[in-house]
Amino acid sequence: MSPKKQPAEYGPIPRDQIVQHVALAAAQGVVAEFPGLEAWQRGAIRRRPLEIYDINGDLLFLDYTVARGAEVVGTVRAAASKVLGPPVFAHEIGPRRWSYQAAVEKLAPKVQQEHPDWKLLNTKLVCYSYPKLGVMFSIADQKKKLRRLIFDVAGLNPVPEGPPDGKMEGAYAWSFYDSLAGDERERRIKHYEEIDQLRAHLPEEKQLVLMELPTVAKLTDVAVLVWAGTVTKQLQFCTHYNYNEARSHHCFSLHAQQKSDYCAVATCQMVLDYYRYYYTQDQIAPSLGYSSGGGCPADQSAGYESLTCNHLDATYDTSPTWEEARDQINALHPFKSAIPGHARACAGYSYYYSLWGGISQKKVYIYDPSPWNADYKLGGAVYWEDWSAVTRTNHVYTRIKCP
Amino acid sequence: MIDRKAARAAAAAAKKEAPVAEDRALAALRRARVGRPALVRTPAGEPAFWLAPFVSGDLACGLAHVDLDGRVARIGAFGAGPADRQSWVPLSFFEEAPAGPLAEIRAAYPGLDLSEPVLSYDASPARWAWRVEATGRRGVEAVAFIGPGGWYEVRPGQAAGELEG
C-alpha cells in the first residue's frame, strides 16, 4: 500500500519498498561499522513507522524505530516519495529525547486556551525546517477559516512560517516539498531510481527476508549483496516493464551496414526503427550527406530530424560523457555513438557500484553495424564496451519533440 | 604487451562477469569456449590488440577485443541474439584470410602484386578485417579489406578522415 496523502507527481514509494530500503540501510550501517550503531547488531526494526508530514500536509518521511526489546537504540528515516531522492535520509543513534504524544498533550490545551473560538481539526508531526520536527495544529474558526500553528516538538516553542532567507536558518517553517524546483525534482527522482535498482535486483527470496524485518544481524547477509554490484540498464520501449522482465519489449534491433561505409546509415536506421520510422539504408544515406567510398559527415543530426519530418530532436555532441549517455538511456532514447571513423548505436549502460569506491567500470551497450554484410540481417554485433577504452568523437542524441 | 595466453585469460574472465554474464542477448558466449586469440595489427603493421573469439563448434559466436595491456575493451556476440547463428563467423576467419575473397581480389587487380593478408582494421579498430595491399609500378594502388561478409577496396587517399563509415 502506498503512503497516503501524496500527489502522484511526488512518486509515492510503495510501503513494502520503503521497508526493504530501511532494512537494507540498517544492515548496511552495521556492516560498515558506522560509529554508534554497534547496539543495532542485536536490534530489530519495528514494523509501525512514525509518520512525518511536510507542513503542506503531504507525507514526507517515515521513521522506523530500531529496538532491542523495549530499549530503543536508533531510528532509520525513510523517504516517503521518490522526489526526495535518497530512499533513506538518516541513521539516528540512540533513543529520542522528545515524544510527539507528550508534546501534543502539553500543547493542545495551550492552543485551545489561546484560540478559544477556534476548533482543533487535527495534529500532525511535521518536518518544519529540515531536519527539525514540530507539531502542527490545524484549526478552524466558526467561518471555517483555516490556520495552522507549528511548535517545535522538543522545545515546544512556536515557529513562524516563512521562506528560508539564508540569514535565519531554522527560524522559520518552510515546506520541503515546495522548496524542490522542477529540475531538482527530476534529478532527485533519477537518484532514487539508481539506488532503488540495487534493491530491485536482489533475488526475490532476499527481498522477502528484508520484508520480514528479522534482527538486523540476520539482515546483514542481504546487505552484503548490495554492498557492491553491477547496475545494468538496457533500452526498453516503455517504462511499464523493466528491460529484464519477460514481458519487456525493447524494440531495438541490430542492423548490419549493407555497405562497407554505411556505418552511420545503418546506425541511423536502427535508431529510427526504434521510433517507428522505417527506411532502407539507401533511402537514409542521402539525408546523412553520404558520399560513396567515404561515409557520412559526423554531424548527422539534421538527417535524423528530416527523416522524421522533424518529429525527433537530434543533438550533435562532440564532447560526450558517460553520464549523458546514461541519462539518455534512462529516458529511453537510443543514440548514435561514434568513435574515430565509425558510428554505432547505443542502447544501454552498465556500471559497477560499491559503497566505498563509488561508480566504476562504466560500460555502454553497443549495437555495431559492423561487420558489414549486404544482407543487413546477417552482419553486425552487439557488445559491451568499456567507456574509457576508446575515444568517443561524438554522439547524436535523439528525443521526441514535445509540442 | 600481454601475450596470447593472457589475452585468452582476460576474455575468459570477462565473459563470466556482469553485465555480460547476465545479458540474455549474449547467452551464447557463456556456453562457448575461448578460442585462440588473433593479433590485430595497425595499418602500419604494429601490434594493436587481440581478438579472442568465443567458439561454438567451428563458428565464432562472439569476440572479445583485448587491449595490449590486458583490458577488455569490448566483449559481445555476432548477430542479434543467441539464436542468430547465421550471423556467426567461421572460426577459420580469425586464423587466415578466407580463400574465396582473396581469389576475387586477385582477379580484380590483374597485373598488381598483392601483399600477404594482415589482420588489421579499416579506419577504426571496431572495423577489423584482413588488409591486402595491391601494389603496381606506382606503388600501392588499392587497399582491400576482407570482412566476414565480403571484401571491399579503399583507394589511396580515400581514407575515412572526418567521415564515418
Q: What is the mean pLDDT of residues B48-59?
A: 97
Q: Residue A77 in contact with residue A89, Cβ under 8 Å?
A: yes
pLDDT score of A299 = 95
CA distance B64 to A194: 28
pLDDT score of A298 = 93
Q: Which of A229, A342, A386 sits opposite B126 (nearest CB)?
A: A342
| pLDDT, tens only, A253-286 | 999 999 989 999 999 999 999 999 999 999 999 9
Range of the domain at A299: 232-400
pLDDT score of A120 = 92
Closest CA to B153 of B84, B94, B106, B116: B106
User: Taking CB atoms and an 8 Å cutoff, what residues of chain A touch B73?
Assistant: 385-386, 389-390
Comparison of pLDDT for A141 and A223, the residue scoring more: A141
Percent over 90 (pLDDT), chain A: 52
> Is the pLDDT confidence value at A240 over 60?
yes
CATH of the domain at A328: 3.90.70.10
Q: Which of A294, A339, A390 sits opposite B165 (nearest CB)?
A: A294
- What count of Cα atoms within 13 Å lies in the side-chain half-sphere of residue B99? 0
pLDDT score of A354 = 66
Does A386 fall in a domain? yes
Task: Name residues 40-99 of chain B within 8 A of A (Cβ).
Answer: 62-63, 67, 71-80, 86-87, 89
Q: How confident is the model at residue B158 (pLDDT cuts 50, 70, 90)?
A: low
User: What's the residue count for chain B?
Assistant: 165
Q: Residue A257 in contact with residue A265, Cβ under 8 Å?
A: yes
| pLDDT, tens only, A296-328 | 999 999 999 999 999 999 999 999 999 999 999
pLDDT score of A2 = 41
Q: Do B150 and A372 touch (CB under 8 A)?
A: yes
Please, which residues bridge with residue A224 across strands? none
Rounded to the nearest integer, the mean pLDDT of chain A is 87
CA distance A300 to A321: 19
| pLDDT, tens only, A124-138 | 999 988 888 999 999
pLDDT score of A210 = 86
Q: Is B160 exposed, middle or buried (0-12, 13-18, 19+ CB in 10 A)?
A: buried
Does A95 fall in a domain? no
| pLDDT, tens only, B109-121 | 999 999 999 999 9
Smallest CA–CA distance from B15 into chain A, residue:
A384
Q: Do B164 and A264 touch (CB under 8 A)?
A: yes
CA distance A244 to B23: 9
User: Nearest C-alpha of chain B: how many angstroms from A121?
Assistant: 55
| All cell numbers assigned to B48 | 594493436
pLDDT score of A170 = 47
Q: How confident is the model at residue B50 (pLDDT cuts 50, 70, 90)?
A: very high
Secondary structure letter of residue A243 according to DSSP: T
Does A284 fall in a domain? yes
pLDDT score of A169 = 47
User: Nearest C-alpha of chain B: how many angstroms from A395?
Assistant: 12
Question: How many structural domains are present in chain A?
Answer: 1
CA distance A107 to A90: 27
User: Taking CB atoms and an 8 Å cutoff, what residues of chain A touch B18?
Assistant: 229-230, 232, 350, 352
Q: How far is CA B121 from CA A154, A188, A341, B129, B155, in A?
A: 72, 44, 11, 5, 15
User: Nearest C-alpha of chain B: how many angstroms from A290?
Assistant: 9
pLDDT score of A25 = 86
φ and ψ of B114, to 5 deg: -100, 135
Does A96 fall in a domain? no
Q: Do B164 and A296 touch (CB under 8 A)?
A: yes
Q: Do B73 and A377 touch (CB under 8 A)?
A: no
Q: Which of A256, A261, A383 sits opposite B76 (nearest CB)?
A: A383
Percent over 90 (pLDDT), chain B: 82
Determine which of A58-62, A232-236, A319-323, B15-19 has the lowest per-residue pLDDT on average: A232-236
Q: Do B76 and A384 touch (CB under 8 A)?
A: yes
Does A193 fall in a domain? no
Q: What is the mean pLDDT of residues A145-159?
A: 91
pLDDT score of A280 = 97
User: Taking CB atoms and an 8 Å cutoff, what residues of chain A touch B48?
Assistant: none
Is the pTM higher than 0.80? The answer reads no
Does A251 fall in a domain? yes
Q: How confident is the model at residue A358 (pLDDT cuts 50, 70, 90)?
A: low
Q: Residue B62 in contact with residue B53, Cβ under 8 Å?
A: yes
End-to-end CA distance of chain A: 35
Q: Which of B63, B150, B162 sits opposite A297 (nearest CB)?
A: B162
> Is the pLDDT confidence value at B47 over 90?
yes
Cβ-count burial A24-54 (b if 16+ within 10 Å, e if not): bbbbbbbbeeeeebebbbebbbeeebbbbbb
Q: Which of B72, B129, B164 sits opposite A338 (nearest CB)?
A: B164
